[in-house]
Amino acid sequence: MTAVFSHRVAEVRRQPLRVTAVATFVNATIKWVRDPYLDTAVEKEKNLKPLLCLKNLILSQPSKTLPLSTSSAQKDRLGLSITTGKFIQKYPSIFTEFRPDHHLSLPHIKLTPKAIIVHNEESQVLNSPVHRKDAAERLAKLLMLTGARRLPLNVIDGLKFDLGLPHNYILSLLPDFPEYFQLCSMNCNESNSGEMLGLELICWRDELAVSALERRAMDLNTGRRRGVKISFPMELPRGFDLQKRVQDWVDEWQKLPYISPYEDAFHLSPSSDQAEKWTVAVLHELLHLLVSKKTERDNVYRLGDYLGFGKKFKKALVHHPGIFYVSNKIRTQTVVLREAYRKDFLVEKHPLMGMRYRYIHLMNTMVRSRNRKQIV
């Protein structure tokens, strides 16, 4: 898709950093090596997203219960890979199937008392002023990665779970931040309708236009941002050895000026090393905005196509296995920010991730039946 970057108003848009653009990447094959720890980090969240979607659907009902037939009809929307009946049987610590009082009634499902306790604690996190402001700022920074400060809702929806947004963020979050966001109509080159609904950041916010790496550099140095030679943290898995010529290229590439992902650097030669470092900066910042520091590869590519990066995101993932890892677990491919993890644990755990781990604990909890134990 054609890049949607447009010129920002002069007083809020930093001028592009002018650097020499030279392409030097060596013609070498960089093999993919499995990282068992990061695979575990991805796999432990298997079924978490559809489970929370089903949980929210149940609790959205006035009775806080749901006919099993109704949930089965929404299997695809919930993202379930198996029938709803089999899914709830996998997690008896979270869901209970029952029949209402009259014997002719259809089977219903509801949450267990333990699941309700976790949900109530999760709601306290989601509804706290600190989290709501944090979620709004993450969403604003995502929009600021685009020069036009806007994105189609379908692109945002693909990332909303990873951003830590409420599942109904349009109604439950956006109205509290009228100075930040407004819905807008956008042209759509992929739809015959010609228009689609999008979300726009009303005005550029300089205080948010600081990347995670720039913030670290300011903490360690003098507060300068533009042109600072920031290196990306890199960690290769055991058994992964770069060819010397590739390692030499990486070392020189790391020395190039760091251009903020909130700047417009599309003036650079697309095939240059400097352009690739900016592309990596955008991808790095995107993953850092996510509470789990990872997302499905399709979300990355969809956003990259919309921003005008095309295949550059794919090339960045291939060229820089010390920065990004692509896991093949749970029926999809997931892009993980390596520096955010020590083994299979997040280095800095967002409060919302703490609640999600509580659900994962319940998902893996043993339940005792009358005659036996069942491992969920």
Say what the pLDDT of residue 75 is: 87
Does residue 370 have a pLDDT over 70? no
- Look up residue 282 and give its amino acid: V
Say what the pLDDT of residue 1 is: 36
Does residue 60 have a pLDDT over 60? yes
Say what the pLDDT of residue 11 is: 33
CA angle 294–234–226, rounded 5-degree value: 90
Say what the pLDDT of residue 51 is: 96
Please give the distance of CA 63 from its chain centroid, rounded to a whole number. 32
Question: By three-state DSSP, how is residue 66 classified?
Answer: strand
Say what the pLDDT of residue 208 is: 96
219 pLDDT band, cuts 50/70/90, is: low
Say what the pLDDT of residue 330 is: 82
12 pLDDT band, cuts 50/70/90, is: very low
Say what the pLDDT of residue 123 is: 95
Residue 159 buriedness (CB in 10 A; 0-12 / 13-18 / 19+): buried
pTM: 0.87
What is the mean predicted confidence (pLDDT) over 94-110?
Answer: 85
The residue that leads in pLDDT, 370 or 163, is 163
Q: Which residues make Cβ contacts (< 8 Å) with residue 217, sequence separation at least 6?
A: 224, 225, 228, 230
**Beta bridge pairs of residue 195:** 187
